[in-house]
Chains A and B, each alone.
Chain A
Amino acid sequence: MSQSEDRGGPNRADDFLQLFKKGAEFTQDLLKENERLRFRIVKLEDALKEHEQVGGAPPSGDAARLLRKIEELEQEKEEILGRIRRVEEENQDFAHRYVEIEEENNMLANLYIASYQLHSTLDFKEVTQIILEIVINLIGAEEFGLLLLDEKTNRLEPVACEGLELSQLPSVNVGVGIIGTSVKTGENYFIESMEGYERDFLKPMVCIPLKIKEHVIGVIAIYKLLTQKEKFTSVDYELFSLLAGHAATAVFSSRLYSESERKLSTIQGFIDLLTK
């Protein structure tokens, strides 16, 4: 991935830098041309003045031609100045786009690492630990919990948390309260205003259902953000979407794997008993 990163992101950046350089060179050329034309105008104006002083007669012949030339050059100068302005505007536009693409690139890189880590193991504990790390380090949550759905009881049970004791987190029935509703509808919940929010385990500030297609297997409930994290950004919402999908499949597959391992060892035990 680092190789493709080297080929993709930096090349894009290089292309933009090349564009900026070309724009700067073009501006320099235009400025030089402008300077040259100004110089010619001054010279022509001086020549005209001299001619008027000497002859004193109204412009005719050469003088009239020179005046026309001055007008043409003035027009040309205006055009050049207009082109310089347009190039400068384009340069600014490119600079803004460069910053935007750089941010997008960073976000994609972070999302890639997060999803890569989520699918790097089939160990359930490791998967939950990775989910916690992503929520802390990429989203900036300080207190939050991961609740998974027990399909037998149709209740959400807390399985991991950060900044809290697991025993503090409630079990929640599907469809009940903010958490239960979020799981039932499969829709993310965000509190309208974080100002003045006081922690209530049944009313988190954010609820992210973990979904495999439309099937919800659990939820991440956030109760407090890091001090320096004042609000969510567009990147956070992208991350929440990623978590909803990738964390769900990672949790689901690690659970399946653990169950199959357990069953396999039971069956192996039976076989060993029968064959002894």
Chain B
Amino acid sequence: MTALKVLVVEDSPTMRQLIVFALKRIRNFQIVEANDGVDGLKKLNSEKFDLILTDINMPIMDGLKLVSMVRNDPNYKTVPIIIITTEGAAEDRDRALALGANAYITKPIQTTQILDTVRGLLNF
């Protein structure tokens, strides 16, 4: 079975490790990490991913800009995008979903919620 590629875009190394560690529970995932939106875009251009998880508040390029750019790329029109953020306001959620994110998870991080969302989007 081919491994699914997942891109985790998050500026906080601790948070990134928490997400990666959680995702490793779902076998057959190849996880690639990016520090910010620009780094994420570079990696998206160099290889094909099956799922993207991104934070919103990041230096250089934020998560919403990244979502917008990803959705404008014909290669990534349908790839599932999950936002994981501290921004809990309804308008932030609506904005992210309007830009093309598939799911919006708020911090503090809850592993079960992340895993359920990933499984749901990838039909596991």
Contacts and interface: CB of A to CB of B under 8 A. Distances in A.
Interface of A: 1-2, 5-6, 9-10, 102-103, 106, 109-110, 112-114, 116-117, 130, 133-134, 136-140, 142, 226-229
Contact of A2 (B15, B21, B88): B21
A109 B22 CA distance: 8
Interface residues of B, number: 21
- Helix, strand, loop or mixed for chain A's interface? helix
B14 A114 contact: yes
B42 to A, nearest CB: 24
B89 A227 contact: yes
A139 B107 CA distance: 9
Interface string B7-34: 0000011110110011011010000000
A134 B12 CA distance: 10
Nearest to A120: B13
A110 B25 contact: no
Contacts, number: 69
A207 to B, nearest CB: 19
A5 B107 contact: no
B18 A5 contact: no
A6 B26 CA distance: 9
Given A103-B112, A106-B111, A133 B14 contact: yes
Contacts of B109: 110, 137-138
B14 A5 contact: no
B86 A136 contact: yes
Contacts of B13: 117, 130, 133
Interface of B: 12-15, 17-18, 21-22, 24-25, 27, 86, 88-89, 106-112
B111 A140 contact: no
| Pairs A-B, 7 closest by C-beta atoms | A228-B88, A140-B108, A106-B111, A133-B14, A227-B88, A117-B14, A228-B106
Nearest to B92: A227
Contacts of A138: 18, 108-109
Nearest to B84: A137
Q: Which of B12, B88, B108 has the most A CB atoms < 10 Å from its CB?
A: B108
